[in-house]
């Protein structure tokens, strides 16, 4: 179970997240929707540990989540892909992969690449990729970590229809296997297909809750 208690985050004079409470039960996928600038990405970054809250506590299985990102049980796919120019696509997918057996690591990498339609670009580097390819590489890297908590920030943005539908179909098989999935998105089709519950983030608080 993931639990956020009285989480607040302010940038200069703007309170982005304001005493926010949220409890997500195991094996649940939730959507966070809302207008641009309302703090959806900030909320994901707070859970991932990439941004530090001004106040409040985030718990996973009744324990405060560690500040050390290397042991934090979270993987995140970013709205704007963050890739390292010196690494190939394959190296990105294998980065942080929790599988220790070399053969199994390679097989899992190939499985993710095949499932996301990037199997032909494994040896390419970021400057050689289209926007849609980079987006799927970023997603594959997050999935490669095999963390129990998966955070997806607009996971289908930059994708053409074929890649969009293929990725959505794959995520539909992946999300139920995770303990907690949080999707920040405007894509209602994505939300309807993947999510069990939908929240709307407005003025720093989750103001709407809907079972899907």
pLDDT tens for the 212 residues of the chain, in order:
999 999 999 998 889 999 999 999 999 999 999 988 899 999 999 999 999 999 999 999 999 999 898 889 999 999 999 999 999 999 999 998 889 899 999 999 999 999 999 999 999 999 999 999 999 999 999 999 999 999 999 999 989 999 999 999 999 999 999 999 999 999 999 999 999 999 999 999 998 776 76
CA distances from 149 to 1, 30, 60, 162 (A): 10, 12, 9, 27
CA distance 145 to 137: 13
Q: Give Dmax (Cα) for the chain.
A: 52
| β-bridge partners, 99 | none
Structure tokens at 198: 């939908």
Provide CATH code, domain 2-211: 3.40.50.300
Q: Residue 19, Cα to own-chain centre: how many angstroms?
A: 22
Domain residue ranges of the chain, discontinuous segments joined by +: 2-211
Provide the whole-model pTM: 0.95
Q: Where are the beta strands (DSSP E) in 45-190?
A: 55-60, 63-64, 74-77, 149-153, 180-184
């Amino acid at each position: 179970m993931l639990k956020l208690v009285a989480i607040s985050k302010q940038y200069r004079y703007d309170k982005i997240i304001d005493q926010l409470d949220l409890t997500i039960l195991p094996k649940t996928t939730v959507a966070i929707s809302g207008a641009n600038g309302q703090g959806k990405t900030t909320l994901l970054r707070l859970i991932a540990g990439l941004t530090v809250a001004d106040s409040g506590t985030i718990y996973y299985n009744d324990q405060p989540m560690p500040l050390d990102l290397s042991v934090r049980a979270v993987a995140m796919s970013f709205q704007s892909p963050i890739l390292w120019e010196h690494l190939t696509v394959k190296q990105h997918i294998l980065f942080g992969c929790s599988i220790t057996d070399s053969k199994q690591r390679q097989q899992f990498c190939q499985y993710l690449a095949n499932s996301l339609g990037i199997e032909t670009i494994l040896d390419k580097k970021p400057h050689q990729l289209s926007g849609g390819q980079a987006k799927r590489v970023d997603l594959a890297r997050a999935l490669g970590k095999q963390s129990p908590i998966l955070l997806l920030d607009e996971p289908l943005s930059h994708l053409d229809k074929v890649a969009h539908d293929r990725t959505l179909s794959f995520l539909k098989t992946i999300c139920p296997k995770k303990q907690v999935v949080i999707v920040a998105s405007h894509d209602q089709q994505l939300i309807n297909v993947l999510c069990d519950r939908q929240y709307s983030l407005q003025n720093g608080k989750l103001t709407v809750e809907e079972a899907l």
